[in-house]
Amino acid sequence: MLLNRKSLLLKGILFIAAGVLLGACGSEKPKDETLTTVQDTVAIVETPTISYTLPSPLQVASIFKKSGLKYKAGVTNSLKDPSKYTTNLSKAINLGVYSADLSYAVLNKQNQEAMTYMKLSRQLADNLGMGTVFDEGNLSKRFEKNLGNEDSLAYIIAELQMVTDMYLDENEQQQITSIVFAGAWVESLHIGANVYEKKDKSMNTKLAEQMTILSSIINALKAEEKKDPSISGLVSDLQTIKDIYDQLPSIKKVTPETEDTETVLTLTDDEVNQLTTKIEELREKFIKG
């Protein structure tokens, strides 16, 4: 059963609308939306004993955008036939992949590409039995109507995530939320690795920051393994990335005394290459289904 908007706003999604989308969106007021901009969107994945906070694909894309990430054609998932994804795991993973691609397109004003990924996301959601969330509040129609208005599209994407997360929570399918975030996280890192120029060291810092998110995704997935045995394989895949990270010289230098300081952790080029190579391997595995 779909939830009404008022009940959604009372649940466990932090939905903050004010200011500028992490500095990425312009100041022009949206024409058709009631709130001006979406600054931050996170999901709270709860188990009986533990709660994990996961950023949305829109938030991750915004972080990269703020640090100077430009648009580059051809780095998003080129597969336009989601019927290839036949298992619930591959459907949920690639719903996350498409969500990251959608956010990247919106924040870079690629309207036609954004519309394509919106439709692909709808198809995968349909295949997972939750396509009706796109009809809540006329989200699909509003998205198409507001093409070209970056602030409004960012707001609609964030609202879509909120509606989806609440739908899954109400239907006790929280594991899908965590799987979607895993796919979105890997795709976001893939985009970052392929768009940042080698001379730009932003990726060296941003990649280190993203590893904290990876730990939360792994923990959230582990908490849901009993619901879907296939999650174990996904956890193992993600853990290989974390294991590489934990053994990097720059990380092994961090001590309990230094990790609480305000020092910005920056990886070396070689360490970034080690991590992104594994991320690219996993991303290729994801999109192949």
What are 202-227's pLDDT values in tens digits? 778 888 888 888 999 999 999 999 88
pLDDT of residue 247: 95
Q: What is the pLDDT of residues 176-197, one digit of tens each?
A: 999 999 999 999 999 988 887 6
Query: Does the pLDDT of residue 262 top 60, yes or no?
Result: no
Mean pLDDT, residues 243-268 = 78
Closest-CA residue to 190 (of 42, 60, 40): 60
> Total domain count for the chain?
1
Most confident region among 38-47, 188-197, 266-275 by mean pLDDT: 266-275
Which structural domain range is residue 151 located in? Answer: 5-288
pLDDT of residue 205: 86
Which of 54-63, 82-91, 156-165 is least confident? 54-63
pLDDT of residue 97: 95
Q: Which residue has the higher pLDDT, 274 or 41?
A: 274
Mean pLDDT, residues 267-279 = 93
pLDDT of residue 3: 42
Query: Does the pLDDT of residue 234 top 50, yes or no?
Result: yes
Query: Does the pLDDT of residue 16 top 70, yes or no?
Result: no
Mean pLDDT rounded to a whole number for the chain: 79
pLDDT band per the 50, 70, 90 thresholds, residue 24: very low
Mean pLDDT, residues 12-35 = 34
Closest-CA residue to 127 (of 157, 165, 97, 89): 89
Mean pLDDT, residues 144-171 = 88
| Residue environment code for 233-251, b if the CB has 16+ CB neighbours within 10 A, otherwise e | ebbebbeebbebbeebeeb
Query: Does the pLDDT of residue 55 top 90, yes or no?
Result: no
Mean pLDDT, residues 41-64 = 61
pLDDT of residue 263: 62
**Cα 268 from Cα 142, distance rounded (Å):** 44
Joined tokens for residue 142: 């509003």
pLDDT of residue 259: 55
Q: How many CB atoms lie within 10 A of CB 81?
A: 8
Mean pLDDT, residues 130-153 = 89
pLDDT band per the 50, 70, 90 thresholds, residue 59: confident
Joined tokens for residue 48: 């009986």
pLDDT of residue 14: 28
pLDDT exceeding 70 applies to what percent of the chain? 76
